[in-house]
Amino acid sequence: MKNKALQIAAALEAVYPEALCSLEYNGEPWRLMVMARLSAQCTDEKVNRVCEVLFQRFPTYQALADAPVEEVEEIIRSCGLFRNKSREIIAECQILRDEYDGRVPDTMEELLRFPGVGRKVANLLLGDLYGVPAIVVDTHCIRLTGRWGLVPEGEENPVKIERILAADLASLKGRAQSDFCHRIVLFGREYCSADKPRCSECPLKELCPSAGKPVSRKKQKKSRSKSSKTTETS
């Protein structure tokens, strides 16, 4: 008998046989690293739009490594936190150029040395670029694993959630864990948003202990405040 996480993984695969990363990085690893940094507190859709302009202006990691920070700030301004993000994506490209000859490293330890790369981004890179089993704990993952009862109620610590899911999904090899995470994002957007889950139409309602339960006002407020925190003003 499969555990609950594996049952949900199978159900998600049936709904979304393709598990594409929603960041359009055109098969270029350095671009995924940059886009993943830009996606913090920003939608993937907006990152894709902004990066069309960014990568047209700076088409290689070497070009972005040498980019004037003010120009990068102007291009990525709408992604929010644009001052920090500009400095960090330029620094990422400098490290790639100076220490890795453009190759995005394939270990957690090395990835965590890059500015703006935490476990979430590192796991995204390891899973998508190298097929390493890796759990990407983003806001969708935190919300949905809570609603599905895969983690203790109220648990929002990404490292703890990653540990629980990695154990429950240990039998998923290669890219299957990162595919699971991509499907969570697709599913969260389509059916199970933070404030208005569409339980009556949800293909996972038989597996979900939260089906039909109202979302608390506190959680609605929290989700609204998170979605409004995308613009850096200082």
- Judged by the rule CB under 6 A, the positions of this chain that interact with ligand SF4 are 147, 191-192, 197-199, 202, 204-205, 208, 210-211
Name the residue nearer to ligand SF4 (CB basis): 91 or 211.
Answer: 211
Instruction: Identify which of residues 142 and 211 has a Cβ nearer to ligand SF4 in the complex.
Output: 211
Dig out the tokens for 49 from the structure.
């739009």
Report, in Å, the least distance between residue 155 CB and ligand SF4: 16
* Closer Cβ to ligand SF4, 150 or 172, answer by number: 150
Answer whether 51's CB lies under 8 Å from 34's CB.
Answer: yes
Report how far residue 105's alpha carbon sits from residue 96's, in angstroms, rounded to the nearest whole number: 9
Name which of 176 and 211 has its Cβ closer to ligand SF4: 211
Least Å distance, CB 144 to ligand SF4, is 7
Dihedral (C-alpha) 59, 40, 165, 160: value to the nearest 10 degrees? 130
Contact 15, 187 (CB under 8 A): yes
SS3 173: coil
Is residue 146 within 8 Å of 154, Cβ to Cβ?
Answer: yes
Minimum distance of ligand SF4 from residue 181's CB (angstroms): 16
Contact 53, 75 (CB under 8 A): yes
Question: At closest approach, how far in Å is the CB of 153 from ligand SF4?
Answer: 14
